[in-house]
């Protein structure tokens, strides 16, 4: 554990200890015996939910999902921090339109070059949304997994939701992103390769996790024509609680380039879908086990099942 991580612990303990000693006078010690020490109060237990947004396959919409889901949760009054764990290929700051505000990053905090307060970037639209950016010029291997775990724990003390944007792949970057999390959201597109990678990732997560699924970039017209996997097809393999379905829409790319998440756009269908996902995640509505009739279709399951070994 670095000094910075110890500082999280001792800092909180010191503040609590000061308050406790002011409230509870310490009894005088009998002559010749050491003075009794007031009990050291423990730091507040971490209360927030740490959720990793992962997929295995690259480019399926993890960063887009992290930005929009975080924005939607913050709009519901939750205190949310988004952690870009894609060290070396950071993007979350751009999707949120916060790139010009980033002064320090994740590794600066882990290596004690900056405090967490200095590195957290407040969103320009919502006071309850913050970003911890990734380093752009460092390697995923530079992150020590235990330090990442301690950092996420500290963030769980400060925020209701800690959403971790996972890099593609299943190597060190994936392991670090998962390390401090308690739950996973799998983002998958209706492509055989994405489903296979998602299936592999689910197998790598702790056994007692029950990840949720978001199917992204669905094109209902293609599904109806039997030219694209349906949500049903995808989930016949993955068998995960379905948090939501996001259509393919050019507006997502426009919003990404503008740095304005669609979750805040009342006129956007994609925005409404992300707001509904946030409501489900916050427990207002249970995730469904089945499919979305608007994008269901079929015919691909046999091919997919054969490819994946019929899990
Ligand atoms: N529903 C959608 N409709 C249209 N474009 C989308 C949709 N979702 C994501 N995209 C676009 O797809 C591209 C990849 O998205 P994103 O960066 O979120 O994926 P990722 O999984 O984080 O990628 P990586 O693995 O490289 O980190 C972006 O250009 C994004 O704007
Ligand atoms: Mg990404």
pLDDT per residue rounded down to tens, the chain (311 residues): 444 444 444 433 333 333 233 333 444 556 667 777 777 777 778 899 999 999 999 999 999 999 999 999 999 999 999 999 998 899 999 999 999 999 999 999 999 999 999 999 999 999 999 999 998 888 888 888 999 999 999 999 999 999 999 999 999 999 999 999 999 999 999 999 999 999 999 999 999 999 999 999 999 999 999 999 999 999 999 999 999 999 999 999 999 999 999 999 999 999 999 999 999 999 876 545 433 434 433 334 444 444 444 33
Q: Please state the atom number of ligand 1 nearest to the C-alpha of residue 67.
A: 18
Residue 308 tokens read as 């994946």
CB within 6 Å of ligand 1 — which residues? 55, 58-64, 86, 91, 168, 216-217, 246, 248-249, 252-253, 256
Which among 274, 281, 196, 276 has a CA at the least distance from the CA of 233?
Answer: 196
Nearest C-alpha neighbor of 261 from the set 67, 101, 61, 123: 67
Architecture of the domain delimited by 43-193+203-218+238-289: 3-Layer(aba) Sandwich (3.40)
For atom 31 of ligand 1, the residue with the nearest CA is: 253
Indicate whether this model's pTM tops 0.85: no
289 secondary structure, DSSP code: S
Q: What is the domain partition of the chain in residue ranges?
A: 43-193+203-218+238-289
> Which of 54, 56, 61 has the most ligand 1 atoms within 8 A of CB, as the residue to mutate?
61
Distant-in-sequence, close-in-space partners of 188: CB < 8 Å, separation ≥ 6: 55, 57, 60, 194, 195, 198, 213, 214, 215, 216, 234, 238
């Amino acid at each position: 554990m670095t000094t910075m991580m110890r500082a999280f612990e001792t800092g909180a303990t010191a503040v609590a200890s000061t308050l406790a000693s002011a409230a509870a006078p310490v009894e005088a010690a009998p002559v010749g015996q050491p003075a009794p020490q007031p009990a050291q109060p423990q730091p507040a237990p971490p209360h927030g939910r740490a959720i990793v947004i992962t997929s295995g396959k690259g480019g399926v919409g993890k960063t887009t999902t992290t930005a929009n889901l975080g924005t939607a949760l913050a709009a519901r009054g939750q205190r949310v921090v988004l952690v870009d764990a894609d060290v070396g290929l950071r993007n979350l700051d751009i999707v949120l339109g916060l790139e010009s505000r980033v002064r320090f990053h994740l590794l600066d905090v882990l290596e004690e070059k900056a405090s967490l307060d200095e590195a957290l970037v407040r969103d320009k639209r919502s006071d309850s949304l913050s970003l911890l950016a990734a380093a752009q010029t460092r390697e995923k291997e530079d992150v020590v997994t235990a330090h990442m775990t301690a950092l996420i724990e500290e963030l769980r003390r400060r925020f209701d939701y800690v959403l971790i944007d996972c890099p593609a792949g299943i190597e060190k970057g994936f392991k670090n992103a998962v390390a401090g999390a308690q739950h996973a959201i799998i983002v998958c597109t209706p492509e055989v390769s994405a489903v296979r990678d998602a299936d592999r990732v689910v197998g790598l997560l702790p056994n007692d996790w029950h990840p949720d699924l978001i199917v992204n970039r669905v094109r209902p017209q293609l599904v109806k024509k039997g030219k694209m996997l349906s949500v049903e097809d995808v989930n016949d393999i993955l068998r995960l609680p379905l948090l939501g379905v996001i259509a393919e829409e050019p507006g997502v790319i426009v919003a990404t380039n503008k740095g304005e998440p669609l979750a805040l756009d009342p006129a956007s269908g994609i925005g409404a879908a992300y707001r509904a996902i946030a409501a489900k995640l916050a427990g207002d509505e249970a995730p469904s086990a089945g499919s979305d009739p608007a994008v269901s279709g079929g015919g691909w399951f046999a091919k997919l099942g054969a490819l994946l070994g019929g899990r």
